[in-house]
Structure 1
């Protein structure tokens, strides 16, 4: 089994994790990957399905925070304006955003014959990081079928982490990066709730990483240590806590504190984006009432999900890095494994 932060005694914060310590601890959320590893090609898609029904018919409240906007994602403007998501989320590389967009449109059109006819269009959400250091991003190998494969592979339960899916070619702090996840359990009004985070970690300068125990591991060789920060990180937060979109935006914004705990400073060339959604209180596409009832979190209790988002983000990034093996990709470019370096220290 790949290492995870907790198995190495790296504890992020004080709140307890969920049963899987993953975004899938939120009921209905599923994750799937399509991974392509072939020499100079190290890439893929990761899909997050927010619930088991058609998200176009049953939308979820969402919020987005652009920590640093050096990115090419699709759909975020409408999420910020309307506070909703209505498709699964796809995470890929920078030049695959259009491909992921087309795949999500194709699935939505197939399931909803009224789109573009008797109702409006659809807002696919595709998020990205640049995997060009380890993968030949110019080859543009990712196809709509690869996106479909990630969507169809989505399951509940434990989430595969590391160099998989949209994390296959990613780097973090000079080490191999990738996909990672973590969760936290919260108790509100006598009930148990969960907040989970999934990250696509591709950010941070070599030498800047700070572990929860204070250690500062560095890659065996740091030829790029002085290079400008040109990575990215995508953070997806899911929760079953009833919240409005404004509150979800506030929660998403706190994910930046989890990155800062690791030593990140959100450099000029880094695309750092957090999107949060709640599975509580679905919004029917054809709601007929003039007013819709809504239960939302008491703002005076929001510090708890803030803390959960920070802790889960920090741990998800570490899980991504620890699960990823050393990889050699395009033109012999290589990234070492954080787990290997810690094992030797």
Structure 2
């Protein structure tokens, strides 16, 4: 088993980016003004946390950003979903957390927003909080997350590299038989006459058989001992772009984000809560639909890589009761990719703008 110090990302394994180059950080933070922060809890009986996706553009001067929602399977507790569908907008950062803590986290996010300058007279606000179930590794019924973790995740939000794996809302999740978690990726893509960035961050906690670059990585063959149970069977996906899309177009991007789960091996089980939210920080003329195909492809590639990164970066976690979710063994992944002749050709990352 690889040690925690040897965790890698997909790009480190020589797997190319597909049709479009990765962004400089290969993270959702490549989208200008988009920040990510985590608050992580690891104890003997708790592996849980909060992840915050924070568009700096939101505030007293700009109260909403265009957004779209796609529901792959609706067995979830996505707070704020109906307003995204109805109005095509988000009014707050997007937080990800543990299933039974979602309501306390939503209340804390609401309190945070109402306390901001310029919100003194606000009487209605729609916090957006998604979740997956970390109950295999964490004592989920204790509902341990609330205001302290929300404030910590928001305070930690930065535009730098995004920590992945067993952190924040991914601290206790299980994906495709391995330890899952938080993953991110980005692409630099031409849309019409411009070039834009699309980035994704995911919280993975779903079943199926992992596929990396089309190569099967069954947990039953790679994990020593019992396979970790995926409780709740869900995935939360957040997509951001600086392309000036409207809410209808963003909903189309969000649907492609859900499609990408299958490329990584999701089986879309009956009990899954699979959601994608796409939002834009861009301003300017909305491109014609005919120009969107590259953005759709870039979205799928970024989301699929984010899912893989969430597993590659995750570290083994153990509950005091003896339940274990094993990190995927990187050496075995390298061997299988090499046997399939998978490798990198040419540049994989776009230059810093």
Alpha-carbon spacing, 1:217–1:55, altered in 2? closer, same or farther (3 Å): farther
Does 1:91 find its partner at 2:96? yes
Q: Which residue among 286, 291, 295 is the counterpart of 1:305?
A: 295
Name 1:158's counterpart in structure 2: 161
Query: Given the superposition, is the C-alpha separation of residues 343 and 335 from structure 1 closer, same or farther in structure 2, using an over 3 Å criterion?
Result: farther
- TM superposition score normalised by structure 2: 0.88
Structure 1: give runs of 5+ residues left out of the alignment: 282-293
Give structure 2 stretches of 5+ with no counterpart. 337-353
Shift, 1:223, TM fit: 4.3
What value does the CA root-mean-square deviation take over the aligned residues? 1.9
CA contact (8 A) 1:91 1:126 kept: yes
Q: Which whole-Å CA distance do the structure 2 matches of 1:267 and 1:79 have between them?
A: 25
Matches within 5 A, 1:258-337: 258-281=260-283, 295-337=285-327
* Map of 1:102 onto structure 2: 107
* Consecutive aligned runs of 4 or more in structure 1 exceeding 6 Å deviation: none
2:41 matched to 1:39? no
- Distance of 2:231 and 2:215 partners within structure 1: 22
Could you tell me how far apart the structure 1 residues matched to 2:236 and 2:41 are? 20
Aligned residue for 1:70?
75
Aligned to 1:252: 254
Cross-structure match for 1:115: 122
On the 8 A contact 1:323/1:339 being kept in 2, the answer is no
Distance in 2, Cα, partners of 1:25 & 1:314: 17
Look up the match of 1:290.
Answer: none
Q: CA deviation at 1:224?
A: 5.3
The verdict on how the C-alpha distance between 1:104 and 1:230 changes in structure 2, with shifts beyond 3 A counting, is closer
TM-score by length of 1: 0.89
Q: 1:52 to 1:60 in 2, by over 3 A?
A: closer
1:51 equivalenced with 2:56 (yes/no) = yes
The question of whether the paired residues in 2 share the 8 Å contact of 1:239 and 1:277 is answered with yes
SS in structure 1 opposite 2:216?
coil
Instruction: Look up the match of 2:87.
Output: 82
How far 1:40 sits from its partner (Å)?
1.1
Deviates most, 174-183 or 142-151: 142-151
1 CA distance for matches of 2:234 and 2:22?
26
Query: How big is each residue's C-alpha offset from its partner over 1:204-230, in whole Å with a ceiling of 9 and x where there is no partner?
Result: 23xx111114233424257459x8984
Does the Cα contact within 8 Å between 2:67 and 2:246 map onto a contact in 1? yes
1:124-165 CA distances to partner (integer Å, 9 max, x unpaired)? 000000000011101211121111100010000210000000
